[in-house]
Amino acid sequence: MKKVLITGAAGFIGHHLAKLLQANGYKVTGIDNLNDYYDVNLKLARLKDMKIDTSHIPYNNRLKGDIDFYKLDITDRQNMETLFEKEKFDYIVHLAAQAGVRYSLKNPYAYTETNVSGFLNILEMARKHKPEHLIFASSSSVYGLNKKVPFKTSHHTDHPVSLYAATKKANEMMAHSYAHLYGIPTTGLRFFTVYGPYGRPDMALHLFTEAILQDRELEVFNYGNMSRDFTYIDDITESMRRLIPLAPEAGNPGFDPENPNPAISSAPYRLFNIGNNQPVALLDFIKAIEKATGKKAKIKLKEMQAGDVESTYADVQDLFDYTGFKPQTPLDEGVKKFVEKYLELNKI
């Protein structure tokens, strides 16, 4: 039984991935610091969904459930080292991060501490303990000012428009340096607007659903002239499940150092987009929520927010060529499943 560590296991993607990998025969250990960036009760609900007793969660003590879980911060070097020495993980899936573009305008230090210093700890653990594959979360936000669509991993991403995006770009560069220096097989994943049951409350789907059900105005930025490549959570986790055993090898023959493609390398390193490859206009997204809730939205149009971008659109041909899979869940189906779980969790 292969052993996999998932950081951020009480997070949205981490929770769903842990359940999928456990169901597919992996021995899963999850860690999460359970910070209060958003309502901790949602994180506890995800842990309960994995049969973990959340009545008392001491720091750095193993809790048993469908997976093993530790409340542990990735910036805690000493206890991270102890965990790695004890467990000898075959795979690392690094999802823990300080998320949120808008919050990065208010609390920038949280992003460098977790997303940069915390990720350095993960890379150091990989250097010392040599997993078969390190997978880490990047973001579609790295495309920044680039307006050439669809976004391809071969595009250069040198113009981020938020500190959050800059830290994710930094993660990609840090990971490549460790893959080059120490031969760590590493894959970075640029996620595109992930949504689904147990989704984060700071994301548009949760905010809009809550406002519609409570008959409140919902704020729509850039006067509605925005689109996103909304990607259902099951498509994200299935892509990851397929990628875990497919560790990249050094010496990619397609890499040309005189005309380098950012998505590949002579080191054992790859980047992939994971998106639905079908951008949806924000106002059409709201219509899907109206359909799922049976209620009309009260829309307040506002100007563009700092750090945001007008549209995202993922080219996923490389992902399909590599894994034989690409995201495909229809938006109406995914939104309906989110709303059903939202009503259940909020007892509506």
Catalytic residues, by residue number, are 164
Q: Give the Cα separation of 250 and 265 in Å (integer).
A: 8
d(C-alpha 200, C-alpha 219), whole Å: 17
Residue 29 tokens read as: 């250990």
List phi, psi (to 5°) of 188. Answer: -105, 140
CB distance 329 to 276 below 8 Å: yes
